[in-house]
Amino acid sequence: MKMCRVFFAMAVLSLSLAVNSTSWDYRHHQASRHRYTIESTKTAMDAALQTPHPHLDIRSIKVIQSSENQPVHGDTRVRADVVGFEKDVEAFAAAGTLQSITSIHVGNHVQGKISTTLSPMKVLKHEGYSEHQVIAKDRREVLACMEGTEGYLDDLKGKTGKESMLYTKNPFFDCFRPSHEVFDFLDTMTEQNPDFMTKYENVSITYEGRAIPAFKISTTSKQEEVIMPKKTLYTQALIHAREWQAGAATFYMMASMLDELRAGDKAAINLFDNFDWYFVPIVNIDGYLYTWNVNRMWRTNRHLVHWNGQEVGVDLNRNWPPEEYFNLDPSNVDQETYPGEYPLSEVSSAGLFDFIRTLDSLGGILDMHAFGGQVLRPFSNQPGSGVEPFGSKMRTLGNSVRNALSTHPNVQYTSETGANLYRAYGCFDDGMFLEFNYTVPALTIEVEGSDFVSPQASIRSVGQNIHLGLRQFAQEAHEYTQQEEVEADVRKEDQLHINEFGRNNALLHEIRDRKKVLKAKLDTLDDANTDLMMGEGDNSFVETSEKSAQEYIEKRVEEANTEFEKLQAEEAKLEARQSILKKLLYSRFGQSINLEDS
């Protein structure tokens, strides 16, 4: 999700990060951005997106009344959630409106402003939404909550064993919390549960030099790990700094797991009989701090670069390999999605990539985001869900997690591929799914909600829902990664690729032999044409039905050239496919596989 900058300042209160809700330093001092819903055909939305829109925050674009089995085409109706200034929204809508050579006409409406023509872009302005006021109100409420729950950590530390309360009931979850309070709370849970929770102090590092910790929840002792290692799950949150609700839901999930294990919950024990679960609760620590200190709507990391005349950070969710799918469409990059210079250019991404690859028997990966209530599976960088049987298995897994999360008529998640409407390159889940050759399921979960600024009263309800969804993910991941089945699928897929490579090689040899024949034929025709022009040769090969030898030769040359061009095009297509297959097979087998040069 994309966001332009909105700056505010916070005061320090009792050595903790808190907010002075009356002090705001906005880039646009005299005006506040508003929220809009824009509806149109996908064709019109595409046209609008192709125009510069640096001051718009296009938070989401979704199909209206979507169905996973319904193909998306130019006439498909889509809805965008946008925050910006009215003149910028009008310019954006006008760009799409040009598709039908109409202009946007805005009329009064009880809910705001909505177009009243057959323009392909309908614009609804949410009159009650002023970004400045929404953020200011939220900051006052967060500050009041933090002041009202002072001492929660001391109370937690003062109660141990049977006296300790449920972690999910602790006032920590009454409020959104700055990073130092988050880590203090998680550290306390670790200290109180040495049999269940372990902290890894520094699995990566941020651009500004802060250590990124990970936490493992497990029922396995160090001795048992050596004798009987388990599969592992990996979950991360807050790769985008402003998505506080996703972070809070992840912290809540960790607390819920400990509450269940300490209570001897059978379902939790069964889950951890199969898995150890690793969490990186805050990936983008620098950016998260910045959302508390300066700009609530900051998304990227704090590695600032000059790009297209702007100072932007790197979107850590566009910074992942493989290189062949990195930043393939630079025209669609904006100030919120700048991917960096190359895959893993950011020290935090590179460190996490190395850490994840060290995890034994990895069985599933989750990336937590906000907002919108979506279960997104690979791919975002290409159409479809991947080769079979993995595409179908991922669809089943994603749909099961969606069903577990859809707990109420007003809380209904969707399940789809990341590229259902628009492609994105360098995303974390795509990179992991490809890195492990489809054998490790990877999902992105966009937690429910309608804004990056969420009511604190929703922290527990969203967390409880996410707890259900993640437990379902663990069950589905266990099925997905049954080793014998996966290995059989991999072997089958490898053999299909090897067979395809062999067939393509044979076709390339046939094409090249045919090109040689055509080249010889063209040389013969060229010689015959030269002899004819010089009056030499008997031209006995010319059929009597042709008007002249000259016309006959020209026709044969044209036919040969046409066939030659077709063969060249087919050759280029096969060579490109062979290059992809070579890269894939060498990544699987290294130099042990003998691929005959084509």
Please list the active-site residues.
446
Length of the chain (residues):
598
What string of DSSP letters covers 533-546?
HHT-S--TTS-TTS
Helix, strand, coil shares of the chain, percent, nearest 5, are: 45, 15, 35
DSSP 166: P
**What are the φ and ψ backbone dihedral angles of 51, each rounded to 5 degrees?**
-95, 155
Angle between helices 428-435 and 347-358 in degrees, nearest 10: 40
140-168: b or e for each residue (b if 16 or more CB lie within 10 Å)? ebbbebbeebeebbeebeeeeeeebeebb
Q: Say which amino acid occupies 285.
A: I
Rounded to 5°, the CA angle 396-253-437 comes to 40
Contact 106, 115 (CB under 8 A): yes
Q: Which residue has the tokens 């699928």?
A: 489
Tokens at 249, concatenated: 């839901």
102 to each of 97, 98, 233, 299, how far by Cα in Å? 6, 6, 52, 35
Q: Which residues, 6+ apart, have CB-to-CB distance to 534 below 8 Å?
A: none
Q: Is the torsion defined by CA of 406, 409, 413, 415 positive or negative? A: positive
Q: Which residue has the tokens 């919108």?
A: 372
Instruction: Report the alpha-carbon distance of residue 40 to residue 307 in Å, rounded.
Output: 30
Instruction: Report the alpha-carbon distance of residue 256 to residue 490 in Å, rounded.
Output: 36
Contact 396, 407 (CB under 8 A): no
Please state whether the peptide bond connecting residue 322 to the residue before it is cis, i.e. omega within 30 degrees of 0.
Answer: yes
Q: Which residue has the tokens 């060229």?
A: 526
Instruction: Report the alpha-carbon distance of residue 211 to residue 202 in Å, rounded.
Output: 5
Beta pairing partners, 276: 232
Contact 252, 317 (CB under 8 A): no
Tokens at 520, concatenated: 């010889």
Angle between helices 179-192 and 244-263 in degrees, nearest 10: 10
Angle between helices 483-534 and 549-589 in degrees, nearest 10: 160
Q: Is the torsion defined by CA of 496, 500, 506, 509 positive or negative? A: negative
